[in-house]
Amino acid sequence: MPSLRGKAQTVLGPVEPEHLGYTLTHEHLAMDYSCSFSPPSPGQEPLSDGPIEMKNLFWIKQNPYSHKENLLLYQETDAVKEELLRFKAAGGGTIVENTTTGIGRDMNTLKKLAEETGVHIIAGAGFYVDSTHSSQTQAMTVEQLTGIIVDEILKGADGTDIKCGVVGEIGCSWPLTQSEHRVLQATAQAQSQLGCPIIIHPGRHSDAPFQLIRILQEAGADVSKTVMSHLDRTICDTKKLLEFAELGCYLEYDLFGTEFLHYQFHPDTDMPSDNDRITRIRILVDEGYEDRILMAHDVHTKHRLMKYGGHGYSHILKNIVPKMLIRGISQDKIDKILLANPKRWLTFK
């Protein structure tokens, strides 16, 4: 089998990293998030069912995980295709599609979207959080899990010959479960065998990213090829963020476009606004971490699509980049964050 060293691997095959262009490192194009349905507050049950309509859109934006249909992004392939074409027209080149086993990864749809839009799509290998692990996954050894992840990259995933190009998002809960711990060790082993990029979904506690990097390191992973996702909602304290940045992984702000009052998955956390995200990125840039920052929207529900009045996949390029410039982050730094850093991360070592 030819080596992937020096290449990035899309669902249409290996490409020269120079061809990736502006890259969103954490998105979903087809997935089923029913596993995370949150029952609505008493009295609001009728709002859970039925279609997405203007008259319930504000409620859905505040309670995205309590509306059943909102969780079925896989039903929206036509709208996603249209919005990928908008992303491309806005200057976008590549989407890293982080849907892993447990939340409805669909390799054939990803390949079709890549063929029909010309956007490079890089698919994710591995497993989402414990609550989605099958009984077989729960029973596997680290070696068996490693074998599956390696095969998804070298041979193809889900019975297809379509190959993944990153490992993740690897789902982790807080506290971390035993099965998730084994998957993390397998991720590290696959990473050290293949030199591939890896990306982690941390549990919702500010200590979680530290713990996960330690486990990966102990299992032999290359931290410099590792992305810690969802820092927006995970480390809100600046001193702790700068301590974490010292560990050397990529620091991902990937919930751009998500603005709500009440974070259903963790009400103790105030979800930052896009302006807050830009402020935190500016702090990291000022502290010298411009070579480790990544950005994305993590679209994973229908209401984030433009079809439903959402921001779509072009929000960062169209709206956030101009605001970053106003806030004193130069185009040169923005090009590192959206172009050079993803390219370096996605290139097999």
Residue 298 is assigned to a ligand binding site:
yes
Dihedral angle, C-alpha 66, 72, 76, 80, nearest 10 °? 80
Q: Does 27 bind ligand LB7ARUS3 (CB under 6 A)?
A: no
- Tokens 């940045």, residue located: 245
332 belongs to an annotated ligand binding site = no
* Smallest distance from ligand LB7ARUS3 to CB 109, Å: 16
Q: How far is the CB of 254 from ligand LB7ARUS3 (least distance, A)?
A: 8
> Angle at CA 134, nearest 5°, toward 132 and 139?
125
Closest CA to 308 of 31, 56, 85: 56
Least spacing, CB of residue 279 vs ligand LB7ARUS3, in Å: 19
**Within positions 96 to 155, which residues make up the interface with ligand LB7ARUS3, using CB under 6 A?**
103
Site size toward ligand LB7ARUS3, by CB under 6 A:
9
Residue 230 annotated as binding site:
yes
* Omega cis (within 30) before 342: no
Site for ligand LB7ARUS3, residues 29 to 58, rule: CB under 6 A: 33
The residues near 327 (Cβ < 8 Å, ≥ 6 apart) are 278, 279, 282
The DSSP code for 313 is T
List the end-to-end C-alpha distance of the chain, in Å, as a whole number.
Answer: 16
What is the rounded distance in angstroms from the CA atom of residue 159 to the CA atom of residue 136?
A: 17
Does 163 sit near ligand LB7ARUS3 (CB under 6 A)? no
Give the contact letters, 196-225, x = binds to ligand LB7ARUS3 (CB under 6 A), - = no. Answer: -----x------------------------
Q: Say what the alpha-carbon torsion angle 325, 345, 270, 262 is, to the nearest 10 degrees.
A: 100
- Asked if residue 233 binds ligand LB7ARUS3 (CB under 6 A), the reply is yes
Nearest to 316, CA basis, from 111, 151, 128, 87? 87
Interface mask toward ligand LB7ARUS3 for 299-338; x: CB under 6 A: -x--------------------------------------
Q: Is 120 annotated as a binding residue?
A: no
Tokens describing residue 225: 């090829």
Report the alpha-carbon distance of residue 29 to residue 109 in Å, rounded: 9
The only residue of 230, 302, 315, 343 in contact with ligand LB7ARUS3, by rule CB under 6 A: 230
Residues that bind ligand LB7ARUS3 (CB under 6 A): 33, 103, 201, 230, 233, 255, 265, 298, 300
The annotation places the binding site at 26, 28, 169, 201, 230, 298
